[in-house]
Amino acid sequence: MKGSQLRPREDLDLPVRFARSAAATEGSGMRTDDVSGWIAERATAAEFSVERIPFAELDGWRFEKDTGNLVHRSGRFFTVEGLRVRRDAAAVPEWHQPIIRQHEVGILGILAKEFDGVLHFLMQAKMEPGNPRPIQLSPTVQATRSNYTRAHRGARVKYLEYFREPERHGRVLADVLQSEHGSWFLRKRNRNMIVEVFGDVPLLGDFRWLTLGQIGELLHRDNLVNMDARTVLACAPVGRGTALAAHSDADLLSWFTAERSGHEVSAEPVPLSAVPGWVRRESAIEHEDGRYFRVVAVAVRAGSREVTCWTQPLFEPCGEGVIAMFARRIGGVPHVLVHARVEGGFVDGVELGPTVQYMPANYAHLAAGDRPLFVDLALSPDPERVLYQAMLSEEGGRFRNTESRYTVIEVDESQVPDRPPSGYRWVTPGQLGSLVRHPHYVNVQARTLLACFNTRAVRW
């Protein structure tokens, strides 16, 4: 490092370069309007099929004798176990549920490269068995450690080397561990990476270079950009945004710390067979009232994946989700309303979610007063004030048919004041962007909507 031993702590050009890419709704590669057709064509070429099967037909998976946990014979991939969650001073102080445990940290990585002075991102047309639209636009690499150490003896993960040894090929623009669905995963974290490459990169068949603006356009199509792409794009270093906000960063962090300190959450694994209220049937583990979600099994045949045939369990929710982020200008500066949420599987109890994160079917048996705050506004917004709307699905490698209506809805002071109810806070997208550089602040649903801001899918 002689002579040039020091470098700037922050690359001040990066936000400008990301802004330029977000402003580019066409790029040097495929036209935006052609992406859907390309994805459809890959789907036809791949000739895959996904079928529900009874648990007895799972290959390599079994229910452990003592615990009833659903495990793979390799001891890898993931397990389905039971979870007991206890909360101090909460409306529901204790509950049990099945949960996915996956110790290993996967890589969700997007390669970035400049073409004609504009950053492009290498996106993959990738099949996931649980997706309602099975091939979606995905990160360059989306692999668990079991995948990339080839526990399933499949093909090599393409472009993996750029993320295993980024300094050999370019430089890291973002790299942070983030949680995923705290209701379905116990302490799951994935590595969200963006790596800029300076040299040539071979372009393989299932991959295309797109600008941030193109991806922003595509985020308006239903079930096209997958969850893994969205969470990585949420972590893009787009800059701090405005220097002014309703709350200083110190006050925001203090509020978050108070929320996290105020919820004593204890989440402990228990044997799956010891989870009260849940029943194991031939083809599903489900709640006795048919609510929440079920654990199912599928058989997959596909030409485009690392192995051509496999079986696996998936979690399937019992209904569509409603995910809404409220937005308001405060003193002229755009803010969004985040909610400090407890989910049993979070690494540290509380993370910031969207304003509303809600599955109507789970509340159908309850009085209206027991529903989360702001649900009515989220369910029937004034169409003219909907800044963003699309049906999007969650990770199709673990979840089946998890469609949610994601929206960003503009509200006014009469609907949500500057000082919202306890547990809610107005923050700027720039403040969320500062938090998302660090683990376990922003949950995966809020990250999807942050990606919509970063890519300018939300124009405001």
For its own copies, the closer of residues 106 and 129 by Cβ is 106
187-209 burial: b if 16+ Cβ within 10 Å, else e: bbbbbbbbbbbeeebeeeebbbb
CB of 103 to its own copies, least distance (A): 5
CB of 108 to its own copies, least distance (A): 12
For its own copies, the closer of residues 9 and 365 by Cβ is 9
Q: CA-CA distances (angstroms) from residue 423 to 177, 179, 258?
A: 24, 20, 10
CB of 105 to its own copies, least distance (A): 4
CB of 406 to its own copies, least distance (A): 27
CB of 431 to its own copies, least distance (A): 7
- Residue ranges binding its own copies (CB under 8 A): 1, 5-11, 103-105, 166, 171-177, 189, 191, 193, 237, 240, 242-251, 253-254, 257-258, 260-261, 264, 266, 268-269, 330-331, 333, 347-348, 418-419, 430-431, 437-440
CB of 227 to its own copies, least distance (A): 19
70-83 burial: b if 16+ Cβ within 10 Å, else e: bbbeeebbbbbbbb
The region, left, alpha or beta by phi > 0 then psi within -120 to 50, assigned to residue 292 is left
For its own copies, the closer of residues 240 and 280 by Cβ is 240
The region, left, alpha or beta by phi > 0 then psi within -120 to 50, assigned to residue 415 is alpha
Residue 363 DSSP SS3: helix
For its own copies, the closer of residues 96 and 191 by Cβ is 191
CB of 20 to its own copies, least distance (A): 19
For its own copies, the closer of residues 219 and 442 by Cβ is 442
Residue 7: what residue type? R
CB of 223 to its own copies, least distance (A): 29
For its own copies, the closer of residues 10 and 382 by Cβ is 10
Q: Which helix (H) or strand (E) holds 256?
A: helix 249-262
CB 24, CB 214: distance < 8 Å: yes
- Is beta strand 321-330 parallel, antiparallel or unpaired with respect to 356-358? antiparallel
Provide the β-strand partners of residue 189. Answer: 179
CB of 187 to its own copies, least distance (A): 8
Q: What is d(CA 354, CA 407) in angstroms, rounded to the nearest whole number?
A: 10
CB 329, CB 335: distance < 8 Å: yes
For its own copies, the closer of residues 89 and 366 by Cβ is 89
Q: What is d(CA 432, CA 427) in angstroms, rounded to the nearest whole number?
A: 7
**Cα-trace Rg, the chain:** 22
CB of 339 to its own copies, least distance (A): 19
Q: CA-CA distances (angstroms) from residue 3 to 6, 7, 10, 170, 218?
A: 8, 11, 19, 21, 45
For its own copies, the closer of residues 156 and 437 by Cβ is 437
For its own copies, the closer of residues 243 and 368 by Cβ is 243
Q: Quick one: tokens of 169?
A: 């090929």
For its own copies, the closer of residues 269 and 423 by Cβ is 269
Q: What is d(CA 147, CA 162) in angstroms, rounded to the nearest whole number?
A: 16
CB 392, CB 448: distance < 8 Å: yes
